[in-house]
Amino acid sequence: MSLKVNSYVSDGSVLLAFDMPQPTDDFAGFAIECFPKGGKPYFLQNRLSLTKGVSKSTKPTNPWTDSNKAPFQKFYWMHFPPTAETIRQYDYEVTAMHYAGKTGLKAGEKQRISVNFDEFCDQYKKFSPGFTRGYLSSQAYADEFKNALIRPDVKKGQKKLMLFDTKKFEKQWAWLGYTARKLVFNFLNECLKDKSIHVDLFAYDLDEPDFIRGIVELGKEGRLRAFLDDADLHTKKGAVEIDAHKAILAAAGAHNVVQGHFKRFAHCKVMVARRNGVPFKVFTGSANFSIRGLYVQANNCIVIDDPKTAKTYGAAFDEAFTQQQKLKSSAKVATAFAKSPIAAKYVDCSGPDLPKFEVALSPHTTETVSLDVVAKAIKNAKSSVIFAVMQLGGSGTVLQQLGTLNQRKDLFAYGMTQNASPADDPKSKKPSGITLFAPGSAQHGVFAAFASLNKQVPPPFNTEYSGGMGQTIHNKFVVVDFNGDNPVVFTGSSNLAKGGEEANGDSLLAIYDRNTAIGYAVEGIRLVDHYHFRMLQGQHPSSKPITLQQAGDKAKKWWTPYYDPKDTKYTERVLFAQGHHAAVAHGASAAHHAAGKKK
């Protein structure tokens, strides 16, 4: 036996992939021990065990089992260390575990690998991506915060407060917002502290009280211009955005604040920092400046400390802001913006201390300006497409291709989207929930409906999971060939749909960089795996719980599909552990390795 271990690093999380020649029948799975630098070692835990099962009635707080006693029966595992914010270097020791008699286990071959979480966030001095943690594990939040509320409780008939004392929520918000929250407030606080900086703000959802306080302060100091969305959801009775607009308008003055929605939405979530009128730094991404956007939804943000990039975003703001002041009509502004040079093509923003990347700013005269590049990359994918997008219900070639990835037998296709709730789309006939796209799946259905999830999810997140407060999967990214020769990530505020690219104010980045692609791919896999387990749990009654395969089980061995070249689990194992070329370019030798001699 020759055990191999590979790692893929994201924002505070790591995917550990394993490979080995085909094992013997006594192979039980993998144990993983984590060694934080300067901290105490511990075994990663498995929610499944050899003796106790998990079913739809199992509570999230049920104890887990150390993996040396409950081995992981799959060829990769995701870890999000609770100390990742403070400890950046870890060793992982992976052990092949074997059955010893009917109830015992014994350790086999071991391999150790070192992981540095700075590989993703700090690889470029001027380019800093990050994700929200998202409420993905009710047990984790229950353990850490006892399911505390994330904003003041609002009784029926009461109005949400725009500003309130946030001190009691600070720890929860820092935990939930993770790196994305840091990026938002580090950017804002830098601008507040340096009185030479002026800020241009594009805001869609806007109700995070500390963010609003900072923006209002910039307005009072004469250092703010703002373009705020005025679509119906932000101007209807009870919307916090109404009060936020009034406060910002009073602070900055009418000549520095406009409202509009292009043809549909002013959907960007952007801050541009300027000195003496010259842009030098930009914040962008999918996360709105809201409690939901930063502390509940799955989102990503990027800060780019680069004058050329900031100039590009600054030109888009200038165009939109000036046209809105001049024309007083969102539809006319959209038409004028689409015809402007800034919306005509992708702008190459690559440079020193930056990855190779381009930016497209919408609305465009046609979706092809931005989406043809994405569609072509998906069509020409060699090994994998991994994605997390808000909905696939829109039109356009990109969403059509993502929706039919299960027909591509040559790819590892992994991703998720969310069906609109009735509150979001009254015409929707689908039940609101999470849709998972797994390799080889012929059924692209609602694998994890919100109605089943919220029985296991505590307040306030059960409201989110029921679809009652909007989208939970708010990310917008597609990763093509993350560990191949030409990896690329497409991300930003764009929903990657024809209608949005022609009607919304949005941004879309194409990032041609391996480590960035790996980070986004791992995040996509993390999201899918969480909801996939929820789906399985919901399908198993207490009379037939999910358990690990035990010694002597006469059923097909759990690892058999990973060594069948016709099975997608084989593709998964080879892709994660060896890279695409081992699976495709050298398919014959890879199959020979997989079949290996039994020992």
Q: Which two tokens stand for residue 6?
A: 């590979």
- CB–CB of 344/359 below 8 Å? no
Which single residue is written with the structure tokens 């593709």? 571
Position 577 scores a pLDDT of 84
**Residue 558: its H or E element:** none
For residue 59, count other CB atoms closer than 10 A to its CB: 9
- Which one-letter amino acid corresponds to residue 148? A
- The overall longest dimension of the chain from CA atoms, in Å, is 80
Q: Phi and psi at residue 492, in whole multiples of 5°?
A: 145, -150
Which class in CATH covers the domain with range 123-154+164-512?
A: alpha beta
Residues 6+ apart with CB under 8 A from 353: 124, 125, 126, 127
Angular region, 222: left φ>0, alpha ψ -120 to 50, beta rest: left
- Which one-letter amino acid corresponds to residue 189? N
List the Cα angle 21/23/26 in 5-degree steps: 165
Is domain 4-119+542-595 annotated with CATH 2.60.40.10?
A: yes
Q: Which two tokens stand for residue 2?
A: 């020759």
Which single residue is written with the structure tokens 């999967």? 473
SS3 539: helix
For residue 286, count other CB atoms closer than 10 A to its CB: 29
Of 130, 256, 241, 161, residue with least CA distance to 201: 256
DSSP strand pairing (257-260 vs 76-79)? unpaired
What is the gyration radius of the CA atoms in the chain, in angstroms?
A: 24
Question: Hey, where are the domains in the chain?
Answer: 4-119+542-595, 123-154+164-512
Q: Phi and psi at residue 596, in whole multiples of 5°?
A: 25, 165
- CB–CB of 384/414 below 8 Å? yes
- CB–CB of 180/174 below 8 Å? no
In angstroms, the CA 272 to CA 218 distance is: 13
Map 42-63 to HEC letters: EECEECCCCCCCECCCCCCCCC
Q: Which two tokens stand for residue 452?
A: 């089943």
In angstroms, the CA 53 to CA 164 distance is: 44
- What is the block-wise mean pLDDT of the chain (599 residues), using blocks of 10 residues? 91 96 96 97 94 78 88 96 93 97 91 94 94 70 77 81 94 94 98 98 97 98 98 94 98 98 96 97 97 90 98 98 96 97 98 98 97 96 88 75 79 74 43 56 43 47 44 80 95 94 97 96 86 72 87 91 90 78 34 36
Q: Phi and psi at residue 35, in whole multiples of 5°?
A: -120, 90
For residue 73, count other CB atoms closer than 10 A to its CB: 18
- How far is C-alpha 443 from the chain's CA centre? 23
Domain 4-119+542-595 identical in fold to domain 123-154+164-512: no
Q: Strand order of the sheet with strand 14-19? A: 4-9, 14-19, 76-79
In angstroms, the CA 412 to CA 481 distance is: 9
Could you read off the pLDDT of 275-295 as tens digits, one per residue? Answer: 999 999 999 999 999 998 999
For residue 492, count CB atoms less than 10 angstroms from its CB and return exposed for 0-12, middle for 13-18, buried for 19 or more. buried
Q: Phi and psi at residue 339, in whole multiples of 5°?
A: -90, -5
User: Whole-model pTM above 0.85?
Assistant: yes
In angstroms, the CA 488 to CA 517 distance is: 6
Of 421, 438, 539, 399, residue with least CA distance to 473: 421
Could you read off the pLDDT of 262-276 as tens digits, one per residue? Answer: 999 999 999 999 999
Position 174 scores a pLDDT of 94
